[in-house]
Structure 1
Amino acid sequence: MTRAIGLEQIIAQKVLTLSREQQQQVLHFVEFLQLKSPTVEFLHHDGTRMSALEAAGDLDLVGCVDSGPGDLSTNSEGLGHF
């Protein structure tokens, strides 16, 4: 009987055959790959992407600050210059 082996199991088996130093290099490479890709992605139940605003969940706080620039993305002076 042939049993399907998942990619994760194949990787784990191959890593176990490496020296401790090589395993450390694999770990560093995996961490490097994780840094290159988004760490968290929030999705709706139907699989579509969720905006940061939706992911924050507390829509009552949006626009609750009376002072400061209206849009920080257009504040040419940078943060901290309210």
Structure 2
Amino acid sequence: MTKAIDLEQIIAQKVRTLSIRKQQQVLDFVEFLQLKSPIVEFKHHDGTLMSALEAAGDLVGCVDSGPGDLSTNKEYLKRPLAE
């Protein structure tokens, strides 16, 4: 975590040396990067974060065919893929 904080401080120091116009360009670029890879968070109605299981809860058990829990079926995991 320290490295991320150090990097953040280095970036902030370098940005402060730029003109206002260049700082605006940096901000525009950062916002562009954020739009390219948005963070998706699933939340409950009260705003608390959901677990992956809660977010995919309606999908659990929706497939009728296929193996059961692969974590308990080690031999199935060792089989070669069907072509």
* TM-score of the superposed pair, with normalisation by structure 1: 0.46
Structure in which a larger fraction of residues adopt helix: 2
* TM-score of the superposed pair, with normalisation by structure 2: 0.45
